[in-house]
Amino acid sequence: MTARAIPAPRTAAVRSAVKPAVAALGFLAALAGGAAAQDDVERRVNDLLARMTLEEKVGQLNLISHGKNELRWEDIAEGKTGALINFNNAQDVARAQALAKSSRLGIPPLFGLDVLHGFRTQFPVPLGEAAAFNPGLSRLAAEWSAKEASYVGVNWTYAPMADLSRDIRWGRIVEGFGEDPYLGSVITAARVEGFHAGGLTTSAKHFAGYGAPIGGRDYDTTHIPVAELRDVYLPPFRAAIEAGTPTIMAAFNALNGVPSMVNAWLLTDVLRGEWGFDGFVTSDWAGIHELLAHGVAADPAEAARKAILAGVDMDMVGGFYIKHLPDEVRAGRVPQSVVDESVRRVLRVKMRLGLFDKPFVDPSRVDAIFPSPEARQAAREIARETFVLVRNEGDVLPIRPEIRSIAVVGPLADAARDQLGPHGARAHAEDAVSVVEGIRRRAAPSGIAVNFAPGCDLFCRQADQIAAAVEAAKRSDLVVAVMGEPHEASGEAASRAYLTFLNRQPELLEALVATGKPVVLLVMAGRPVELGRFADKIPAILHTWFPGTEAGPAIADVLFGDFNPSGKLPVSWPRTAGQLPIFYNRLPTGRPTRADNRFTLGYMDEAVTPLYPFGYGLSYTRFAFTDLKVAQERVRPGETVSVTVTVTNTGARAGQEVVQLYTRDPVASRSRPLRELKAFDKIMLAPGEARQVTFNVPVERLGFHQEDGVYVVEPGEIQLFVGGSSAADLAGRVEVIDGVRIVPGEQRASAGKPRL
Ligand code: BGC
């Protein structure tokens, strides 16, 4: 078996123009194949349920891990588990499949793993993916990841993370799409579709509000007003469900005082009642156990009871359901019907996935056949589109022909494991092409010398290598400095109070700047970092996130101008951590910032604006936006607002621009955000080429939620802004005649209509 035997995802061209439209047809609906097939699934589920003992039922709700001391293989044969986590190779999967088959009812397990942005081949981290503003690429990366993982029998990924975050102190911002609910919905849906197309089912996580812990501290409590929750934090989950995700993971933290794992309003009223979700909810890792520490359950039995009554169907590794639910049912504290319904949900998902009819995985399969050349090529093409060029004074980039030697410096220049990001699944560092190696390969044929000197250890704790790096810089025409975060400084449990460059990195950077050589700074990190004095001192700055296996070649493509950067910031880049949380779609205040009036919004010691706004990113060419036209002066519910703009490439290179449409409702019954992204389109323009771009936004998407959950579009003016970032200033307007009012639950009737 060679890697080539795995067919490439069917998305033909990576750079084909991709519209941010989300396919309406859900994965499950497609699998279920219509009403008759749905009925058949329900009949089979009920038949099976009727034959199950209480213990077997509860077994289906028990998710166990392959951890070193945790796994009792006998549990699988005894029907004590419905799903397994951290099985990542065909031998173990096949063994577990056979054991499950030998159990009394032979119900196949789900095999879950955190396949976030790659299995063996690593694609860019999700926040980087979001920076591409190209859902086609997100879909493609997910599809590749799924193809590799499902090859060895994994069939369920704990992804995508649909958590919006406005606070880059939170380490897990790297796993999501940033700060915007519309971008987040589009990317989340694309990732669900991609995973499904590649053979992995999904679990959108962490429901809900996990991305807004106070202080940016992972696991900390969250306070989000209901109207804001519905406008900002829930839409990406809704999008995941509409794209067909059959499972949802409940969040660790407490939302408005109620831990998500016992939040019946969230898990039952909203998720099932309003949205019609008929899949299952899993807890996060030992999340039901953690209800004791949350202080909402006195003992394990109470924790299990409260969680299942709230709507958590599956207990991930905590072991509370398997131990306590049978007694809770027998004592009448948990109705049998509640357990039955949870089991029904789990079995329904398994049936729809066809698990009962699938052959076992071939245990001779190994992931060592990856990454294939095709996967590498895809990883490279996707990665280079995620880089965001935030500064390029004097057009230092792309590297000019007269540059004959380059010093490649910095702790992340040769950090194969770190460039893969915090979640590696089955990643192997030896598969990865480092930044320095990518630059060497590109420079060698042109006779350009590469002088590599890391400058310090990975965490940059020592300064003894700085002198050698300075020497390398002095011997070179250009310095490329690769700074940022080792992978351990990003991801789960990697919240940061300081966002400055780690340890001695500033000293190293300062020494490089002092050589007088032009410095190109590559920020490799899971979030923006605080640039401080370097913001003005360094001529070229490119944020690369964690680009994955093909980081080196992808970065070389952009540095040398073989690929024109087109990424845009999916999150505001603050000047300093003290500004956090900071986000573009903020509400106005009664005292808008004015330089000449102290008693207005601001800080005594720092600007109130971010260093770089959401949606911002440069190209090697330039774009002009002109001739904004709004087709209608007035629109009514049921109609769309049509906004057309002309975009011209005024530079000398071909390039892609992300054309962005923002709205503002200037007078409403509640304060409305200063800007809200409503649509975007990524287009390629040849030098001098002009193109008209039209956005059609349904009137129903111009509203907001009230605190009681009612969604309204109010009559009145809507302002429109189009441009290449959230600071877009080409403006228009439209008048909305008549309002829209949708009470929770009735939203289900709008299936097929735009998401609210
Ligand atoms: C994380 C989840 C993850 C799970 C299983 C938890 O700690 O919060 O996102 O899916 O572990 O690895």
CB of residue 290 inside a 6 A radius of ligand 1: no
DSSP 8-state code for residue 159: -
Identify the residue whose C-alpha is closest to ligand 1 atom 4.
285
Read off the pLDDT band of 68 (50, 70, 90): low
Nearest residue (by CA) to ligand 1, atom 6, is: 285
Instruction: Name the residue at shortest CA distance from atom 2 of ligand 1.
Output: 284
pLDDT at residue 36, as a whole number: 85
What atom of ligand 1 comes closest to residue 159's alpha carbon?
10
pLDDT per residue as tens digits for the range 5-18: 455 554 433 333 33
Task: Kindly report the average pLDDT of the chain as a whole number.
Answer: 94
Say yes or no: CB of residue 385 within 6 Å of ligand 1.
Answer: no
pLDDT of residue 69: 67
Looking at the DSSP bridge assignments, the partners of residue 483 are: 523
Give the pLDDT band of residue 70 (cuts 50, 70, 90): confident
**pLDDT band, residue 183 (cuts 50/70/90):** very high
Question: Does the Cβ of 163 fall within 6 Å of ligand 1?
Answer: no
Atom of ligand 1 nearest to the CA of 206: 9
The three-class DSSP label of residue 34 is coil
What pLDDT, on a 0 to 100 scale, did the predictor assign at position 583?
98
Query: Which is more confident, 707 or 70?
Result: 707
Ligand 1 centroid to Cα of residue 285, in Å, is 6
The rounded Å distance from CA 410 to ligand 1 centre is: 31
pLDDT of residue 194: 98
Task: State the average pLDDT over residues 414-429.
Answer: 95
Q: How many whole angstroms from 448 Cα to the centroid of ligand 1?
A: 45
Calculate mean pLDDT across residues 242-258.
98
Nearest to 618 by CA among 542, 538, 537: 542
Q: Measured between alpha carbons, how far is 400 from 397 in angstroms, rounded to an integer?
A: 7
Ligand 1: centre distance to CA 626 (Å) = 46
Regarding the beta carbon of 219 and ligand 1, being less than 6 Å apart is answered no
Interval 705-730: pLDDT, tens: 999 999 999 999 999 999 999 999 99
205 lines ligand 1 (CB under 6 A): yes
| pLDDT tens figures, 356-413 | 999 999 999 999 999 999 999 999 999 999 999 999 999 999 999 999 999 999 999 9
CA within 13 Å, CB half, 60? 28
Question: Is there an atom of ligand 1 within 6 Å of 269 CB?
Answer: no
Structure tokens at 683: 């287009």
Q: Is there an atom of ligand 1 within 6 Å of 156 CB?
A: no
CA of 294 to the centre of ligand 1 (A): 18
**Residues near 704 by Cβ (< 8 Å), separated by ≥ 6?**
227, 231, 665, 668, 670, 672, 711, 712
pLDDT in tens, 92-130: 999 999 999 999 999 999 999 999 999 999 999 999 999
Q: Count H helices and E strands in the chain, helices first.
A: 21, 27
When mean pLDDT is compared across 33-37, 264-268, 400-404, the lowest value belongs to: 33-37
Choice among 64-68, 390-394, 524-528, 671-675 with the minimum mean pLDDT: 64-68
Task: Tell me the β-bridge partners of 61.
Answer: none
Give residue 424's pLDDT band: very low, low, confident or very high (50, 70, 90).
Answer: confident
**Beta strand residue intervals within 601-752, DSSP E:** 623-630, 634-635, 640-649, 655-664, 676-685, 690-698, 704-705, 711-713, 716-723, 730-736, 740-742
- Rounded to the nearest angstrom, the distance between the alpha carbon of 661 and the centre of ligand 1 is 35
**What is the torsional sign of CA 94, 26, 230, 271?**
negative
Q: Please spell the DSSP secondary structure of 377-407, one letter per residue.
A: HHHHHHHHTT-EEEEEGGG--SPPTT--EEE
Atom 10 in ligand 1: residue holding the nearest Cα: 158
State both tokens at 226.
């209901």
Distance 249 CA to ligand 1 centre (A): 9
Closest listed residue to residue 699, CA positions, set 618, 647, 635, 649: 635
CA of 513 to the centre of ligand 1 (A): 41
Mutational test site, ligand 1, from 172, 284, 288, max ligand atoms within 8 Å of CB: 284
Closest-CA residue, ligand 1 atom 8, reads 284
When pLDDT is cut at 50, 70 and 90, the band that residue 747 belongs to is low
Can you give the pLDDT at residue 562?
98
Q: Whose CA is nearest to atom 11 of ligand 1?
A: 285
Kindly report the protein residue whose alpha carbon is nearest to atom 12 of ligand 1: 114
* Residue type at 104 in one-letter notation: R
Q: What is the best residue among 158, 218, 252, 283 to mutate for testing ligand 1's pocket, by most ligand atoms within 8 Å of CB?
A: 158
pLDDT on residue 16: 34
* Residue 86 CB–ligand 1 contact under 6 Å: no
- Ligand 1: which residue has its CA nearest to atom 7? 285
Tell me, in angstroms, the distance from the centre of ligand 1 to residue 213's CA: 16
Look at residues 388, 410, 555, 425 and name the one whose alpha carbon lies nearest to residue 470: 410
Q: Which of 117, 492, 495 to mutate to test the pocket of ligand 1 (most atoms within 8 A of CB)?
A: 492
The catalytic residues are 284
User: Of 478, 580, 553, 579, which Cα lies nearest the Cα of 519?
Assistant: 478
